[in-house]
């Protein structure tokens, strides 16, 4: 039995199987908190206790989204922050109204007085901070991408299982919230029949930026094997289609040199163009294309082709569909009130208080998308197909 046999099992993408094996978990993952209130954690913190949170890595998304989200939760106190320097930590503390600033994450954890940590660093620090925080008895909310590679992600999962009374959550990709429920609903109701093939394009519309900025996403020291939005897109696709297997990939570095923060040209090794072909559980092929070098492209698009119908999502995330006998696609309804919304911080705090369980996202989900990301990396390096789960 493989190490991933106790993770979510693959589903066959036929109508009955999808309804029973895929649609229910996805619906639960996107459901309002009130629908999950019965799923309590018996070992979680009592609901009337305050929850003290430390912030490690207060960058743009953390400061603009996660910190305000945590502050909106009753009884939550943000009590400490640590960035890459004491000066940066103090600046963040002043801007965010956090009383204590530390020079690094080790000092923050050593100071004690916390119930949970929010990890907002680049991927290279996710594993060591998560393991240390769990050893300190803290709950962990970690920014995506989960880790530098699949091995680190599995270490994080194993650590979370050694501390089953602690809540561990990954921030899910929010880029597909608008369409997640509508796609899940249409597929579970058999709109396309049996899924035959899928095309996904995640393309930037600008031309290649030669000698452009070398930010952390282009630097393997900080980003590991994570490339573009490869892992996040697969994470979203799993919500609609279930996990895949047999990954075959090609990558290119079209912009081989980029300028670092000091303006010096450095070699860029992480790909800026990726093509992936993989299979769903029923054998249907999925083609994904990611690129920073597709000037004047049509941007992001999704096509799901089935035995009885077709679904198309355009660059503005409008959903179109057509069934056998139709002459053209027509826009499908996707009422705003039925769309998923960002509630990561609420789910995290509710899970600590025993009001719901984590579904968006578990560490198990993170291991799945990190193993898929690594399969893309390995296949591109060797030219051979890579089977999932990884051996």
* pLDDT at res. 1: 40
User: Among 121, 241, 118, 252, which Cα is nearest to 187's?
Assistant: 241
Render pLDDT for 195-214 as a digit per residue (tens, 0 to 9): 999 999 999 999 998 888 88
Sheet holding 285-291, edge to edge: 244-252, 273-280, 285-291, 195-203, 301-306, 309-313, 319-323, 330-331
Q: Confidence class of residue 3 from pLDDT cuts 50, 70 and 90? A: very low
Predicted confidence (pLDDT) per residue in 270-283, tens digit: 899 999 999 999 99
How far is Cα 286 from Cα 91, in angstroms, rounded to an integer?
A: 46
Residue 78: predicted pLDDT: 98
State yes or no: pLDDT of 9 exceeds 60. no
Residues 284 and 303: beta-carbon distance below 8 Å: no
User: What's residue 47's pLDDT?
Assistant: 56
Average pLDDT of the chain, as a whole number: 89
pLDDT bucket at 266, cuts 50 / 70 / 90: confident
The answer on pLDDT for 215 being more than 50 is yes
Question: Contact at 8 Å (CB) between 74 and 57?
Answer: no
Which residues make Cβ contacts (< 8 Å) with residue 326, sequence separation at least 6?
none
Q: Which percentage of the chain shows pLDDT scores above 70?
A: 88
pLDDT of residue 169: 98
In the prediction, which pLDDT does 12 show?
A: 34
CA 44, 48, 53, 58 dihedral sign is positive
Contacts of 305 (CB under 8 A, 6+ apart): 192, 195, 196, 197, 198, 199
Q: Is the distance from CB of 129 to CB of 119 less than 8 angstroms?
A: yes
Dihedral sign (CA 120, 122, 123, 129): negative
Q: Say how many residues make up the chain.
A: 391
The region, left, alpha or beta by phi > 0 then psi within -120 to 50, assigned to residue 83 is beta
CA distance 365 to 351: 17
Which one has a higher pLDDT value, 34 or 240? 240
Side by side, which strands form the sheet with 51-56?
A: 100-102, 76-82, 51-56, 116-119, 139-142, 168-170
Using DSSP's 3-state secondary structure scheme, residue 250 falls into: strand
Q: What is the pTM assigned to this prediction?
A: 0.86
Tell me the per-residue pLDDT of 50-65, one tens digit each, with 9 for 90 and over. 999 999 999 999 999 9
Residue 372's pLDDT band, with cuts at 50, 70 and 90, is: very high
Q: Residue 10's pLDDT is what?
A: 34
**How many CB atoms lie under 10 A from the CB of residue 133?**
27
Residue 20 has pLDDT above 80, yes or no: no
């Amino acid at each position: 039995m493989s190490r991933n046999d106790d993770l979510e099992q693959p589903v066959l993408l036929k109508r009955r199987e999808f309804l029973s094996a895929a649609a229910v978990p996805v619906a639960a993952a996107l459901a309002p908190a009130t629908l999950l209130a019965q799923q309590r954690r018996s070992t979680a913190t009592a609901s009337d206790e305050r929850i003290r949170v430390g912030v490690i890595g207060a960058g743009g998304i953390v400061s603009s989204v996660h910190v305000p989200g945590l502050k909106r939760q009753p009884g939550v106190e943000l009590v400490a922050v640590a960035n890459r320097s004491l000066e940066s930590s103090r600046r963040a503390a002043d801007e965010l109204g956090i009383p204590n600033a530390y020079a690094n994450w080790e000092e923050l954890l050593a100071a004690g007085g916390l119930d949970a940590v929010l990890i907002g660093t680049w991927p290279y620090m996710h594993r060591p901070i998560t393991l240390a925080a769990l050893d300190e008895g803290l709950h962990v909310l970690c920014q995506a991408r989960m880790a530098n590679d699949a091995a680190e992600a599995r270490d994080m999962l194993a650590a979370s299982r050694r501390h089953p009374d602690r809540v561990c959550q990954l921030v899910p990709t929010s880029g597909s919230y608008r369409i997640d429920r509508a796609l899940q609903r249409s597929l579970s109701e058999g709109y396309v029949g049996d899924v035959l093939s899928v095309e996904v394009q995640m393309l930037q519309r600008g031309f290649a930026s030669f000698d452009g900025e070398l930010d952390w996403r282009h630097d393997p020291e900080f980003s590991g094997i994570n490339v573009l939005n490869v892992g996040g897109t697969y994470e979203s696709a799993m919500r609609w289609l279930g996990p895949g297997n047999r990954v075959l990939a090609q990558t290119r570095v079209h912009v081989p040199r980029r300028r670092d923060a000091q303006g010096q040209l450095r070699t860029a090794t992480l790909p800026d163009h990726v093509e992936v072909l993989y299979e769903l559980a029923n054998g249907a092929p999925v083609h994904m294309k990611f690129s920073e070098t597709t000037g004047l492209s049509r941007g992001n698009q999704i096509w799901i082709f089935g035995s009885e119908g077709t679904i198309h999502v355009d660059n503005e995330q409008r959903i179109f569909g057509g069934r056998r006998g139709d002459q053209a696609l027509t826009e499908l309804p996707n009422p705003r009130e039925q769309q998923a919304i960002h509630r990561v911080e609420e789910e995290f705090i509710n899970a600590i208080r025993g009001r719901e369980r984590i579904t968006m996202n578990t560490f198990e989900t993170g291991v799945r998308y990190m193993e898929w990301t690594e399969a893309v990396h390995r296949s591109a390096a060797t030219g051979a197909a890579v089977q999932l789960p990884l051996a």
